[in-house]
Amino acid sequence: MGVESTTRVACRRCEIHYIDGVRPLLIAMPTASIPPADPGPTHALLDAFPSLRGLDAALHARLLHALVWHRVPRGGALFETGDPCRAFPLLVEGEIQVMRETPDGHEIELYRVLKGESCIVSTSCLLGDVAYSARGLVARDTLLAAMPHALFDSLIGAHPPFRQYVFGLFAERLGHMMQRVEEVAFRSLTRRIAAVLLAAPGEALDITHERLASQIGASREAVSRALKKLEDTGCLALARGRIAVADRSQLEAEA
């Protein structure tokens, strides 16, 4: 995580960490003297990350003691480009959007992290001991456990299921990112937009042009022009913050 607490105020079941320059985050963390009020988060963690099961007694105790729980509302930032990475995030609830800024000032979405998944930018930063090269934004209210760097290194070395999980998902994410590069390089903008809309669960997508642009790796201006052309051909119906499919068969032809 790319933030460092500077003040701690003890409360009954947790500690409140106030972070310089950032609104306070509530970080629930088990302590030796005051056990967590609700063991649910730990059970949820093991359900989401079964690779953490089967630890020996010493590692299991260390895991429970070292994890720092964060609950972050939508719109919050978990890390920024250039921040040092001090922990491995384990997502139990919510969704994280990992973004990279392009030289012309636009942002492109690299990938999203859901429950039970890992952030490969965090993984690469911890393994290489380098700063973040992207930013992580909370797309949906999120509950996560931060695993300190030292414990991450210990589990990678001593617990094969966790090591296989980390590197397996790293390889999978890398494959998806290579596919994204191919799409941006060789697939037209219209086809990429059509593919996103056709994959949506309903006939409409509540999304801004800017967010859609970052998701498919294009500028907002280019996306707005392409959407207007699709609207003019009868494929789409546009409204503020909403894109509806007006003619699915015609849109499928565009894809």
In 10 A of CB 196, how many CB atoms?
Answer: 16
Encoded tokens for 187: 């697939």
Q: What is the CA radius of gyration of the chain?
A: 21
Q: Which of 252, 253, 184 is nearest to 216 (CA)?
A: 184
CATH 2.60.120.10 in the chain, residue ranges:
5-184
Q: Which CATH number fits domain 5-184: 3.40.640.10, 2.60.120.10, 3.40.190.10, 2.40.37.20?
A: 2.60.120.10
- Residue identified by tokens 């998902």 is 169
In which residue ranges of the chain is CATH 1.10.10.10 found? 187-254
H or E segment at 217?
none
Check residue 40 and give its pLDDT: 57
Inter-residue contact 99 to 34 (CB < 8 Å):
no
* Angle (deg, nearest 10), helices 149-158 and 120-128: 90
Q: What is the pLDDT of residues 151-178, one digit of tens each?
A: 999 999 999 999 999 999 888 888 877 8
- The type of residue at 106 is H
DSSP 83: P
What pLDDT does 157 receive? 95
Write the burial class of residue 183 (CB in 10 Å: 0-12 exposed, 13-18 middle, 19+ buried).
Answer: middle
Q: How many helices (H) and strands (E) does the chain have?
A: 9, 11
Residues of the chain falling short of pLDDT 70: 1-40
pLDDT the model gives residue 182: 73
Query: Tokens in use for 24?
Result: 């306070």
The topology under which CATH files domain 187-254 is Arc Repressor Mutant, subunit A (1.10.10)
pLDDT of residue 99: 87
Residue 34 has a pLDDT of: 26
